[in-house]
Chain A
Amino acid sequence: METLVYLARRLAQALVVILIVTVVVFCLLHALPGGPARGILGPQATAQQIAAFNHEQGLDRPLPVQYVYYLGTLLHGDLGTSYTLNEAVSRLIEQRLPKTLVLTVLSALVGLLLAIPLGMWQAVRRNKPADYVITTLSFVAYSTPVYFLGLVLVLVFTQTLRWFPSQAPQGDTVAQVFADPAALVLPVVTGAASMVAVFSRYMRAATLENLSEDYVRTARAGGARQGAILFRHVFRNSLTPVIAMLGYYVPVLFGGALVVEQLFNYPGMGLLFWSAAQSSDYPVLLGCVLVISVATVVGTLLADVVQRIVDPRVKAGRT
């Protein structure tokens, strides 16, 4: 019962957050100098042309009316029509989002598979050279602009060693993307680097915290070996908060994908967003922002709920 109340409250909060995001997106759309009309018709457009465009698009009505109308269209899954590609924004996102998800999920998987053992190893070898070396490396990885890292990787692995191509797979479907695994290596590694940095630190902290718990001392006193304690108890207890952090990490993953897709010319949602920014295609820009924000809110919600269900110690403290 308590859990149900909690679920209902968290769900209501998530809806409020999404509503606020739509207000922000709507305000951004109307913060444009000269409104969207100026962006579309260009600096040469006359006042009459702009007025005609505004009337045609319903942009001359009062803002609250326009906002309610905007919400109504959103509820019908209508994100508007692209100014430049002449196609429904929802359709464009539908085509591109799966490819971005492939990239981000692969990066997240590679990142976690590296970060979790690294973090545990650091915790076990706390304040020994290995710990310092990995800490330093993760500082560096966290502090490197994603595009600089990608560029260095291309210079080393494409131009000098000629191991991997500098262009990501170009296929239209997800299957075509997987058909060219060598081309996926550099984009995935670039996307995973900062993830390894952040999550190895979380894992190190979580492992250290668990190692100082009473149950570890009890297990040791009972004669359990270090390896058994680590993998049977500490690993599982440390993993939960780290996995939950994934939910909060969704916006960073999408931000990384934006840069990686542009750098490696990967035709996902990030590249769609990028080219929309170049051509001031506001419906596409704001549609993407909305979809990504909803994904983040859902990610955070899932993280909170999963953590609460899996770990009974977590009460509704984090709201």
Chain B
Amino acid sequence: MTAVLQTAPVEAVAGYRLSLRRFTRNKLAVAGLSVVVLFLLFCFVGPLLYSTDQTHTDLTQVNLGPGAAHWLGTDAVGHDELGRLMYGGRVSLLVGLAAGLLATVIGTLWGAAAGYAGGWVDAVMMRVVDAGIAIPALFILLVVSAITTPDTLGLIVVLGLVSWLVPSRLVRAETLTLKSRDYVLTLRATGGTHGRAITRHILPNSVSTIVVAATFQIADAILLVAYVSYLGLGVQPPKTDWGGMLSAGLTAAYSGRWWLIVPPGLAIILVVCAFNAIGDGLRDAFDVRGRG
């Protein structure tokens, strides 16, 4: 018995090394990872090199086209668009990452609890998930926007609360197969608690599923953040995010100033694509089931 317990972690480490090698061989996934790193540098280090004033309006510099002084032009109140892309990206990336991770944590706990409990508890918990999936997230977000305008933290919580359903299903499925494994049964037979079974065996063995789910969840959350401003829930000026820049540039775009919407639009597409590519790469590397 002890021999089994000792070899398990060694195998796990070798497995992860193999997965890492498989991941680094996947060109699309590595490209995705590079794009994410580049955008993080652009948003968090960029403003040190390209300094702009994003809090005060400058009415002498409004609606300028791209040029030497303002590489991507300025908006209707004189903010430099390139600088705004950096500051807006901070909000988009941070809120997206935080909301995606929060959703994964909620989904993991819910799915593990449901799958481990089994029986009618599982049935009720999963019907709640079905009900959540039946209500499109955009509708819920629009109802919330009719009620209140949350701050950034509130926004993360709201986004996390509408998007934990898919990871909960994946983790539940994983838990169902894990809970009847010999090592879990052994732990239970020798007096280990349910909590110990979940935290020591079920969750560590579901790590690859959870990591893959989290990556896709972050991609979806960044996309959802882009919708949030459009729905009237976004961060308030002078703060902004890429979705807010898109919404603010809508009318300008109709009158021909396309440079106000194309950069934030492309930024969203690139980053979401990148996280999806990483997710695909991780899924293939870990060889787990996940989203098609």
Q: Which residues of A contact B (CB under 8 A)?
A: 13, 16-18, 20-21, 24, 28, 31-33, 39, 139-140, 142-145, 147-148, 151-152, 154-155, 159, 198, 201-202, 205, 251-252, 254-255, 258-259, 273-274, 276-278, 280, 282, 285-286, 288-289, 292-294, 296-297, 300, 319
Contact = CB atoms under 8 A, between A and B. Distances in A.
A21 B135 contact: yes
A258 B254 contact: no
28 contacts: A16-B127, A17-B127, A17-B130, A18-B131, A24-B131, A28-B143, A32-B147, A33-B148, A144-B269, A145-B226, A147-B246, A148-B246, A148-B265, A148-B268, A151-B250, A151-B261, A155-B258, A201-B292, A255-B139, A258-B136, A258-B138, A277-B145, A285-B142, A289-B139, A292-B135, A293-B131, A296-B136, A297-B130
Nearest to A262: B230
A20 B131 contact: yes
Contact count band on B: 35 or more
B133 interface: yes
Contacts of A159: 254, 256
Contacts of A277: 142-143, 145-146, 231-232
Contacts of A18: 131
Interface string B108-128: 000000000000000000111
B93 interface: no
B147 to A, nearest CB: 5
Q: Which 4 A-B pairs have the closest CB atoms?
A: A143-B272, A20-B131, A255-B136, A296-B134
Given A16-B127, A17-B130, A277-B142, A33 B147 contact: yes
A21 B137 CA distance: 13
A143 B145 contact: no
B230 A145 contact: yes
B133 A145 contact: no
Q: Name the prevailing secondary structure of the B interface residues.
A: helix
B131 A17 contact: yes
A132 B142 CA distance: 37
Contact of A145 (B134, B147, B148, B246): B246
B273 interface: yes
Nearest to A156: B258
Contacts of B139: 254-255, 258, 273, 288-289, 292
Contacts of B219: 143
Given A143-B270, A254-B136, 5 more contacts: A143-B269, A143-B273, A145-B223, A259-B138, A300-B134
Contact of A143 (B132, B136, B276): B276
A280 B146 contact: yes
Interface in B174-230: 219, 223, 226-227, 230
Contact of A139 (B130, B231, B258, B276): B276
A27 B53 CA distance: 43
Interface string B71-101: 0000000000000000000000000000000
B162 to A, nearest CB: 11
Contact of B276 (A142, A155, A292, A294): A142
A292 B127 contact: no
A147 B142 CA distance: 15
